Structure 1
């Protein structure tokens, strides 16, 4: 019994300290959340002064009272100067773009977390709720190695490795091997722990939302989505909402399916049902974004679901995309489709008039016209 427990503990320790897990998943989350927040800031650019800037109803005094209640803080509250706010906004746009591209990810991930925290704390009641999840994931991503795949940092390291491979002399590192190994182990442990926290956060979010819905009478009767579709607040396209509401049976099926998916999600992560459930959740979030007009919330949830896909899924998907691109190139010729061009004879005697060179280029034969 003790031997089995000891081996299990060793396997768990090796899983945490051996290598960083799900590097492609955190890379997808980095790209997804960086792009989402960049698009969010660009979308609200005409209204930035009313939401976060000097024209916001949250004066510095009210903001301070809010900070005292929530425990948050914001770099936007350091000054009420319009020029300072514009500088902060441009910095937020630039930070989101660099974080999405993976440039100096260790620094930009921290700056991105500060930016998201500051803008969220300044206007905590004026967004659709999608930035709540982005805020949590931005903080967690700062502790991960999210720049090792699909980033400018990864490309730079790859080019540096290619240049130094085969060099006669390698520059000696000033860091001792033992210290380098300890730093790598610490980075791996922090990365894997942050990854586990992100996965647990998403499980808790789905599970709590599903259990909360079970307690509601409208969700139990299958009519909850009917009432949602008739709320003016969630009708970006009233005609589309009315069209969806006309199918009562489909609305009831969608209501029960939503509750079932959210409640069952934490229990299917380690079985074969994980991929169908994730695909159905993707469809659910796309429907929320389209019909209810909550693109930021839906996008944040879709990106969060990427943490449960293993690296082999992303590598296989990337290989499939590259193969499809090679097959669909318009300038790529199919094998055996090239035509054989015959080169005329060089340096031989000229054929007499009225004759054509033969296939070997050694003489002439009468042409059909001369015959």
Structure 2
């Protein structure tokens, strides 16, 4: 598999043949059109989303008819009436035949696995987006913020060249690099635009969440997490929740840190501060997964955060993993 040695950050502008320094527009145009950015990051998102969605479907397999099927409380007829008003869409409402639903269910799992593996990724990415939208639109009253984000990311990622790394497509093409030309130019521009939209989506999400918290009294006085720990729905470990809730100063500091990091996130991306903010956000989501029993929500958020890591980080992680796997075990004493 070819390893892209090109750094993520564009080199400093140098004078052209006429001695003129490129303008900001020229640098942005070059960044947008010269090469696809963050190929490893988009491949990691492909693998992550392609793994999470079938896990959700398999976990809810015994309850599939009550959630998405013809027997759901939110019936297909109600869903079709809602789609007629809001312009929504779901393949699951095209027929009320139970066998049709079963074929859609199995097909969604199969598509997710092929998307994860990167087999004919362009086609699979479109089918994956249709599957994700169809299922989450069908059970719209049961979705949460993580589900909504996954729907958006599934639609954005189908515009990226997410199959050029860590995929069966990349294995099939080997070390061959795409030929320069109009097709590669379009692929590069569309990929980079899709990548920038994903980044912008996360900036809007965190910025809006932080500003919304600033307006709340409980976040302002540092007691918001106290009320969260008292909710029975979010107390998988009651003793641990009560223990953490008893440390009032720690709870207040966690509230203020959450607001600060979310508001600062969009502004930290243009500096090395993002390498401090991202681990804090990832740690926050891991805490939500463990303390509030929201693992899927946290997984979607963490995956989406990783789109901001440059390719050099993924190459370093890949080299480190290979080095550790090749390392001989220490001799026993």
Same fold (TM over 0.5): yes
Who is 1:146 aligned against?
162
Q: Determine the C-alpha separation between the residues in 2 that align with 1:70 and 1:120.
A: 15
- In 2: Cα distance, 1:240 partner to 1:95 partner: 40
Partner Cα distance (2:216, 2:86) in 1 = 29
Taking the TM superposition and a 5 Å limit, the aligned residue runs for 1:17-32 are 17-32=33-48
1:36 is aligned to 2:52: yes
Please, which moves more after superposition, 83-92 or 127-136?
A: 127-136
Do the aligned partners of 1:30 and 1:99 also contact (CA within 8 Å) in 2? yes
Match in the other structure for 1:192: 192
RMSD of aligned C-alpha atoms?
1.9
Consecutive unaligned residues in structure 1, runs of 5 or more = 163-176, 334-371
How many residue pairs get aligned? The number is 312
**TM-superposed deviation, 1:5:** 8.9
Q: Structure 2 unaligned segments of length 5 or more: list them.
A: 1-18
Question: Contact 2:43–2:164 at 8 Å: present in 1 too?
Answer: yes
2:239 aligned residue: 239
Structure having the higher Rg = 1
Q: Which residue number corresponds to residue 135 of structure 1?
A: 151
1:68 and 2:84 equivalent? yes
Q: What secondary structure, in the 3-state scheme, does the structure 2 residue paired with 1:125 have?
A: helix
Equivalent residue runs for 1:19-168 within 5 Å: 19-158=35-174, 161=176
Post-superposition CA distance 1:216-241 (Å, at most 9, x none): 00000000000011112212332332
User: How far did residue 6 of structure 1 move?
Assistant: 6.0
Moved more, 279-288 or 63-72: 63-72
Shift of 1:126: 0.9
- Between 306-315 and 206-215, the greater mean CA deviation after superposition: 306-315
- Structure 1 segments (4+ residues) deviating >2 Å: 3-8, 236-240
* 2: CA distance, partners of 1:150 / 1:111: 19
1:230: which partner in 2?
Answer: 230
The alpha carbon displacement at 1:188 in A equals 0.5
CA distance, structure 2, for counterparts of residue 62 and residue 203 of structure 1:
34
Contact 1:128 1:294 in 2 (8 A): no
